């Protein structure tokens, strides 16, 4: 599949209807994943808080994990070293272990695995990996899925805005800084990683209101300020919206506000994700780098093994 | 107190012996704080995992908070908007609410408050805010406290290494990027915020192994690579140590490895924290900015209120 076809596949992925059948009682949910698979747990954690949700992006699991824990390993390839290590540890502690993967060792090891289609770049399979979590713990209405589909479809057909923005970044060699806010802090991180992997550029992120306690100082007084370009997600939280305005006013910086055509959580989530898909893809094209190339990461994995 | 005296005060703070008297049973711990107070919960969470610990750096608390939750609000001033909001919400949900503060509205509102000395910059009171968490949940041996005191004391007497490093940053207008690893990912974030607040420079962070899934690409192929200077904490985890070596090898970047004179968790924690104290302080001096000045943050708070 071409990379552009992978991007266009996202709207199909949100229809993925598999879910876990969790029959036991549990006290907490631990989700283990790295990179493009790890972001899935972070997105879910920001939305769902009826139980404590702990995400692990590392070797090793928390001490509290026990037979009252739902433990979910997510790895697109099914062969991510850190995640396999953690699934083994969780099994030893008698947690209820589940997995989301396209196959690999993870599918072999975890009986309760949801198998998703293979053949994509892991970062292009975000919808497949995320939907089982929503379907299981926090189902999304059909009409919202349908509206989201239409939003993504119209972005697939026309992403001139993202192409123009990519050109601006390219012409100025800007480094993007993305300022998210809840429930889309994890999406700011997703933007960063898409710039890293697709465009091969640095990118950084922070979020309101936390950045008002630190990044606000250099925004006004640092050197190299002109080399950055700031992206901020429009918020329907009035306190956050006010912070966005005042931060620009007192620092003199001007943010590019990304405004979704909707305030509904799920629709906005995928709009913001897809915006970065196209922005970082277009930036790769204009920089003449291959958006699918992650050879440096692959080289590292092979040297480690 | 002069700022340099505040820095030197850290070694006294680790002797702070107050703790909470928690007599009720509980299932989880939620810690709410922002900026220099928020980092306290993040440091603690990385070390302690016998119960689920959730940190909140935002307005609003998780839905699961109830009468089986220990909820700890941390605000040095006692007047942080986000934290006060969250303490009120936690009380409404009948959580066991505690606080660490030098006074303000938080001390008025929360009966079970540990009152710490006032008159410092919040970011200079890290030891006072952190010790009650350790004392309560994960006490530190006296001989480790003593050894840590000696390490900090020797840094107070001689920090030529950090001064030289600050000069290098200044002469090249470098932007620091700090790559931490567990259990010191939060310390990498602390470095970032100290650069922001003390030196008024941008700074960014990530951690091993997560950065091997994204930042590894631009490390090799991005523009503006030469404008960054990379700091990495030495790890006694062999898998992480190997990742640090291979990442340098395949990207061609050279990291400045910060090696603590000890591998004991608590001693190393405070060594790494204090390293950044002096590095960012010296950078402020050579840049001729006032390390105590956080007027932009204060201006924002007053416009918000």
Q: Rounded mean pLDDT of chain A?
A: 97
Catalytic one among B50, B213, B221, B303? B213
A65-120 pLDDT, tens digit per residue, is: 999 999 999 999 999 999 999 999 999 999 999 999 999 999 999 999 999 999 99
Query: What's the pLDDT score for residue B122?
Result: 95
Whether A103 contacts chain B with CB within 8 A: no
Distance from CA of B59 to the nearest CA of A (A): 8
Residues of chain A in contact with residue B214, where contact means CB-CB under 8 angstroms, are 35, 192-193, 196-197
Whether A196 contacts chain B with CB within 8 A: yes
SS3 B96: strand
Please indicate whether, in this complex, the C-beta atoms of B217 and A223 are within 8 angstroms of each other.
Answer: no
Q: So where are chain B's domains?
A: 3-137, 142-287
> Helices B265-287 and B185-194: crossing angle, nearest 10°?
20
Residues of chain A in contact with residue B225, where contact means CB-CB under 8 angstroms, are 202
Cβ B279 vs Cβ B273: under 8 Å: no
Radius of gyration of chain B (CA): 20
Cβ B101 vs Cβ B75: under 8 Å: yes
Please indicate whether, in this complex, the C-beta atoms of B204 and A200 are within 8 angstroms of each other.
Answer: no
Provide ipTM, 2 decimals: 0.96
Burial B58-67 (b: 16+ CB within 10 A, else e): bbebbebbee
Cβ B200 vs Cβ B207: under 8 Å: no
B63-75 pLDDT, tens digit per residue, is: 999 999 999 999 9
Task: List helix spans (H) across chain A.
Answer: 3-8, 10-13, 35-47, 81-92, 104-109, 126-137, 142-157, 160-172, 185-194, 216-221, 238-251, 265-287, 295-304
User: In 3D, which of B142, B203, B60, B248 has the Cα closest to residue A177?
Assistant: B203
Query: What's the pLDDT score for residue B173?
Result: 97
Residues of chain B in contact with residue A216, where contact means CB-CB under 8 angstroms, are 296-297, 300
Strand partners, A175: A228
Helix (H) or strand (E) holding A231: strand A228-233
> What residues of chain B, 111 to 150, have a C-beta less than 8 Å from chain A?
none
B116-127 pLDDT, tens digit per residue, is: 999 999 999 999
What's the CA gap between B247 and B245, in Å, rounded? 6
Query: What's the pLDDT score for residue A1?
Result: 75
Q: Rounded mean pLDDT of chain B?
A: 97
Please indicate whether, in this complex, the C-beta atoms of A247 and B300 are within 8 angstroms of each other.
Answer: yes
B236-251 pLDDT, tens digit per residue, is: 999 999 999 999 999 9
What's the whole-number mean pLDDT along residues A43-66?
97
What's the whole-number mean pLDDT along residues B280-294?
95
Q: Cis (ω within 30 of 0) for the bond into A225?
A: no
Residue A12 has pLDDT above 90, yes or no: yes
Distance from CA of A301 to the nearest CA of B (A): 9
Tally of CA atoms within 13 A in the half-sphere of B302 that contains its CB: 7
Fold of B3-137: Rossmann fold (3.40.50)
B242-275 pLDDT, tens digit per residue, is: 999 999 999 999 999 999 999 999 999 999 999 9
B65-104 pLDDT, tens digit per residue, is: 999 999 999 999 999 999 999 999 999 999 999 999 999 9
Whether A68 contacts chain B with CB within 8 A: no
B305 falls in which pLDDT band (50, 70, 90)? Answer: confident
Domain A142-287 has CATH 3.40.50.10490: yes
Work out whether strand A175-181 and strand A228-233 pair parallel, antiparallel, or are unpaired: parallel
For residue B301, indicate whether it is catalytic: yes
Residue B287 has pLDDT above 90, yes or no: yes
Catalytic one among B82, B197, B267, B282? B197
Q: Tell me which residue in B82, B217, B296 faces A196 most closely, judged by beta carbons.
A: B217
- Asked if the domains at A3-137 and A142-287 fall in one CATH topology, the answer is yes
Count of pairs with CB atoms under 8 A, one residue in A, one in B? 182
CA distances from B55 to A35, A226, B42, B196 (A): 21, 33, 7, 22
Work out whether strand A175-181 and strand A113-115 pair parallel, antiparallel, or are unpaired: unpaired
Catalytic one among B19, B93, B105, B301? B301
User: Count of residues for chain A?
Assistant: 305
B219 falls in which pLDDT band (50, 70, 90)? Answer: very high
Please indicate whether, in this complex, the C-beta atoms of B250 and A296 are within 8 angstroms of each other.
Answer: yes
What's the CA gap between B257 and B261, in Å, rounded? 13
Please indicate whether, in this complex, the C-beta atoms of B304 and A52 are within 8 angstroms of each other.
Answer: no
Please indicate whether, in this complex, the C-beta atoms of B35 and A213 are within 8 angstroms of each other.
Answer: yes
B133-171 pLDDT, tens digit per residue, is: 999 999 999 999 999 999 999 999 999 999 999 999 999
């Amino acid at each position: 599949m071409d990379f552009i076809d992978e991007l266009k596949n996202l709207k199909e992925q949100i229809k993925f209807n598999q879910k876990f059948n969790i029959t036991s009682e549990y006290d907490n949910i631990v989700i283990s994943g790295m990179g493009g698979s790890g972001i899935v747990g972070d997105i879910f954690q920001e939305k769902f808080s009826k139980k404590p949700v702990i995400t692990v992006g590392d070797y090793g699991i928390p001490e509290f994990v026990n037979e009252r824990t739902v433990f979910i390993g997510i790895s697109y390839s099914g062969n991510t070293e850190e995640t396999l290590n953690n699934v083994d540890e969780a099994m030893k502690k008698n947690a209820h272990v589940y997995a989301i993967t396209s196959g690999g060792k993870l599918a072999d090891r975890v009986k309760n695995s949801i198998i998703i289609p293979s053949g994509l770049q892991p970062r292009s399979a975000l919808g497949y990996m995320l939907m089982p979590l929503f379907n299981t713990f926090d189902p999304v209405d059909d009409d919202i899925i349908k509206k989201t589909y239409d939003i993504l479809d119209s972005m697939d057909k026309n992403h001139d805005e993202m192409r123009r923005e990519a050109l601006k970044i390219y012409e100025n060699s800007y480094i993007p800084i993305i300022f998210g806010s809840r429930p889309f802090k994890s999406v700011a991180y997703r933007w960063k990683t898409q710039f890293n992997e697709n465009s091969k550029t640095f990118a950084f992120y922070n979020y309101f209101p936390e950045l008002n306690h630190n990044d606000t100082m250099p925004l006004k007084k640092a050197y190299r300020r002109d080399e950055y370009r700031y992206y901020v997600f429009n918020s329907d939280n009035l306190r956050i919206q006010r912070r966005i305005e005042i931060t620009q006013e007192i620092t003199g910086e001007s943010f590019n506000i990304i405004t979704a055509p909707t305030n509904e959580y799920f629709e906005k989530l995928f709009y913001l994700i897809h915006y970065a898909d196209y922005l970082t893809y277009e930036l790769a094209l204009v920089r003449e780098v291959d958006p699918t190339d992650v050879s440096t990461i692959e080289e590292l994995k092979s040297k480690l093994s």
